[in-house]
Structure 1
Amino acid sequence: MSSISNPIPERIVWADVLRFIAMFMVISVHCTDPFNISPAARLNPEYNFWGTIYGSVLRPCVPLFVMLTGMLLLPVRQEIGPFYKKRLTRVIYPFLIWSVLYSLFPWFTGVLGLEPSVITKFFVYAGDSPSQAFSDSLHNILMIPFNFTPLSTHMWYIYMLVGLYLFMPIFSAWIKEATDKQKRMYLYFWGATLFMPYLHEYVAKYMLGSCPWNGSFDMLYYFAGFNGYLLLGHYLSKGNDWSISKTLLISGALFAVGYAITYVGFGKMVADPKSTEEQIELFFLYCTPNVFLMTISVFLVAKKIRISSPFWINVFANLTKFGFGIYMVHYFLVGPSFMVVDFLKVPIPIQIPVAASITFAGAWLFTALVYRILPIKAKWIMG
């Protein structure tokens, strides 16, 4: 997702493969929204069942991207000014362009004389009666510096990514001097913070010094968040002497435990009509121990991937170049992909992977086309 250029001369092919896996998982996650979010779909137990199965197995997607970012960019090898200029400009320009386009989409459908229901078919979070007024689209555009909108929910990642980029040069100064023991100690503290969402839900709202006048700034707050995945990716990139069989065995066990917790917890929350939105998302949170277990298992297995074919090496390298653009545009294609799925009468159990495949292929082709038509300017539009 992040437009990261590899600072190491020799390509890390397994990292390109892992980026493809994570990207397809991200798109698949968004293809579960019609199953898990749409009111009509939630009335059908079969949609609930498959939405929970796929939604649970796909949670490592975002943490994997963050781990790749930490692996490739930490410690930062540039001065803070050039680093910010290179990283932020390649992210912010396409982010602004596409955020505006997503915001203008409802108004554009009104100009074409289409019914508001078309918007909901494209974006499940748009609600039952989305506005087509230009004033509302303008309001959404003015809100871009502050937050994403229901029409561009995937843009939450960009706000987080910018925050990581801002933090990385500062974090990097410690990483350069820290010993492996000190890095592990940081990760231990971070690991403890992964349990905090469940402690807040099942033990007490306020813990470890947090309170109404202190917000969420508890004792472990300064070790919490996606920065832990940054450091984890950096730390685990130093090699793994495990055999393939041992890696598969341990990773399989870790993934199974993480998946079981995620599946059972999410299924229980969705089945309770009294669950709030926060409770429904509780077991899907990326910074939780169950998602961590699934993420680290996928990362460790991916490190064992070896590809020698120049054709496939180039295919995965191409994805690295187009990955950010695919992320920018793909949310426009999720709704239409399900229209195709419905038209083809695809069985419910495989609707999500089929829709994800259509979405991924369409986004990849569109991004490649933009780069072919505008080879110089494309990086400012697509990232």
Structure 2
Amino acid sequence: MEKNISINNKIWIDYLRVVSTLAVIIIHVSAIGVMTLNINTPDWLIANFYDSLSRFCVPIFFMISGALLLNKDYELKNFLRKRTIRIIPPLLFWSTVYFTFNNKKYLLGEFEFIAFLQKITRSFLYGSEYHLHFVYILLGFYLSVPILRQWIKKSSTTYIVYFLSIWFFSILYRIPSIVIYLPKIDITNFSGYLGYMVLGHFLFNTNFKGKYRYLLLFMASVGITVLGTYYFSLRQGVFYEYFYDYLSINIIIASSSFFLFFKNKKISVKGLDNIVSIISKYSFGIYLVHALVLKLLVNLNIDMFIVTPVLSIPIVSILCLIISLGVIVFVNKLPFGKYISG
């Protein structure tokens, strides 16, 4: 499935990456409200809305990777070397930072070397902070890219659609109320986040007309996420997280429609493009550091409760984005900083 679609003029991808980066932060700012507040309170409803609105972010990152990486040929050794240098040093550095920050009382207290080795080993193997989990998923993706590229290069559109159809079908097995009615077919090889990479490549290389129909589809899927989460949480008396799942049908639809809206809109704003390009360039570093920035802001009582959450969630999120960008730009300018800034 080879189409002559250039990836050189990709400012819309930069905009999409920046919006997704901000959306990740919004999720983590609003999460405290979703997880701790009473479901019937207005503040919970607001936090649920912002969280639901932003759930496209992680799938979009994977789709962008598929759109950009699966359109090029690679020499295996060079590809793995470049991706290793790109991911491993920043991951190790920021994992150490988070481990130190989260265990400062332990490190300054009674120190046991064996216990320390066990803690730091678990930290590096499984992620020393909640958001680093997806960096490990990304590493798995990079290992598969050279193989996926060769398959996609030699495959027709029919086979790509066939793969995505089975992947989408596998998602049905994640729906609690439906899985009991499905045949016990083992299609685990098609399930998981890898489908987003193939989906991103497919949507990028296929001409889907229209703009605002995808915006309306995105809004409808967000509405399903908001109302579905509220209804089932209220019904069960505890937070119901299925509709937040990045591999739920509503999030797949939201992510795909959001991707297509940006692709067909080809967003570009004179005077803003350069700023967006800079944020996009450092988006991985921003992702790595933003959780630490949020922790520090919370310690200063700067969170979604500083004023009404309607205003405070976006304000705190934008503030976190700006500070995180400043930190990464600063680190990048240090000697060898480019290897750990992300």
Alignment TM-score, normalising by the size of structure 2:
0.88
Q: In structure 2, the residue corresponding to 1:219 is in which secondary structure? A: coil
CA change 1:134–1:24 in 2 (3 A) is farther
Instruction: Report the count of equivalent residues.
Output: 333
Indicate the residue corresponding to 2:329 in structure 1: 368
CA contact (8 A) 1:107 1:134 kept: no
Indicate the residue corresponding to 1:230 in structure 2: 197
Q: Distance in 2 between matches of 1:381 and 1:206?
A: 48
CA change 1:99–1:343 in 2 (3 A) is closer
**TM-fit CA distance, 1:62:** 0.4
Q: Does 1:183 align with 2:160?
A: yes
After superposition, the C-alpha distances for 1:178-208 in whole angstroms (9 at most, x for unaligned) are: 011211111111111222211xx11456964
CA contact (8 A) 1:71 1:230 kept: yes
CA contact (8 A) 1:225 1:287 kept: yes
CA contact (8 A) 1:24 1:360 kept: yes
Q: Which runs of 5+ in 1 are unaligned?
A: 1-7, 113-131, 210-217
**TM-fit CA distance, 1:260:** 2.4
The range that moved more, 265-274 or 299-308, is: 265-274
Q: Distance in 2 between matches of 1:51 and 1:308?
A: 30
CA change 1:332–1:181 in 2 (3 A) is same
Match for residue 324 of structure 1 among 263, 266, 284: 284
RMSD in angstroms over aligned alpha carbons? 2.6
Q: Distance in 2 between matches of 1:43 and 1:68?
A: 34
Indicate the residue corresponding to 1:292 in structure 2: 252
Amino acid at match of 2:34: N
After superposition, the C-alpha distances for 1:280-310 in whole angstroms (9 at most, x for unaligned) are: 321111112100111111111111124263x
CA change 1:137–1:269 in 2 (3 A) is farther
**TM-fit CA distance, 1:145:** 4.3
**TM-fit CA distance, 1:256:** 2.9
After superposition, the C-alpha distances for 1:304-347 in whole angstroms (9 at most, x for unaligned) are: 124263x4332222123211111111101113334454699422
Indicate the residue corresponding to 2:207 in structure 1: 240
The range that moved more, 284-293 or 187-196, is: 187-196
CA contact (8 A) 2:215 2:261 kept: no
Indicate the residue corresponding to 1:92 in structure 2: 88
Indicate the residue corresponding to 1:194 in structure 2: 171
Once the two structures are superposed, the pairs formed by residues 67-106 of structure 1 within 5 Å of their partners are: 67-106=63-102
Indicate the residue corresponding to 2:41 in structure 1: 45
Indicate the residue corresponding to 1:253 in structure 2: 216
Instruction: After the TM superposition, list the runs of 4 or more consecutive aligned residues in structure 1 that deviate by more than 6 angstroms.
Output: none
Q: Which runs of 5+ in 2 are unaligned?
A: 1-5
CA contact (8 A) 2:304 2:313 kept: no
CA change 1:348–1:320 in 2 (3 A) is closer
Q: Distance in 2 between matches of 1:61 and 1:9?
A: 21
Q: In structure 2, the residue corresponding to 1:10 is in which secondary structure? A: coil
Q: In structure 2, the residue corresponding to 1:359 is in which secondary structure? A: helix
**TM-fit CA distance, 1:141:** 1.6
CA contact (8 A) 2:170 2:187 kept: yes
Q: Does 1:349 align with 2:310?
A: yes
Q: Distance in 1 between matches of 2:80 and 2:133?
A: 20
Amino acid at match of 2:338: K
Match for residue 123 of structure 2 among 133, 141, 144: 144
Match for residue 61 of structure 1 among 37, 48, 57: 57
Alignment TM-score, normalising by the size of structure 1:
0.79
CA change 1:137–1:205 in 2 (3 A) is farther
Q: Distance in 1 between matches of 2:16 and 2:162?
A: 27
**TM-fit CA distance, 1:266:** 1.7
CA contact (8 A) 2:26 2:314 kept: yes
Q: Does 1:380 align with 2:334?
A: no
CA change 1:342–1:10 in 2 (3 A) is closer
CA change 1:367–1:190 in 2 (3 A) is same
Match for residue 283 of structure 1 among 224, 235, 243: 243
Match for residue 14 of structure 1 among 12, 15, 18: 12
